[in-house]
Amino acid sequence: MLFAFLCNDKPDSLQLRLDTRTAHLDYLNGLGDQLKFAGPFLGDDTKPNGSLVIVDSVDLEAAKQIAANDPYAKAGLFASVDIRPWNWAIKNPDNK
């Protein structure tokens, strides 16, 4: 089952994001095929201010664990994280 992580950064936390970015990317890449795609949300100034992460997980509790173990989450970057089941209906490469 797919889950979307909709993450909003705390105000004035760009430096924390930048300082933690390498560990965050290593973590996401370490998820292998469980990670479907990910990337930052951008503010009007085109600087990152949140994240969208889509993972394949057995259930909501397992998805919550993935989100909680993200170095961004551990560093306290996010003001909020909404985890929602998601259906990749259009242009899903797994639906051939």
In a domain? residue 38: yes
How confident is the model over 63-90, as a mean pLDDT? Answer: 97
Domain containing 59 — which CATH number?
3.30.70.1060
The total number of structural domains in the chain stands at 1
In a domain? residue 19: yes
Edge-to-edge strands of the sheet including 78-86? 35-42, 48-56, 2-9, 78-86
19-62: pLDDT as tens digits: 999 999 999 999 999 999 999 999 999 999 999 999 999 999 99
In a domain? residue 91: no
d(CA 38, CA 96): 22
The residue segments making up the domain with residue 72 are 2-86
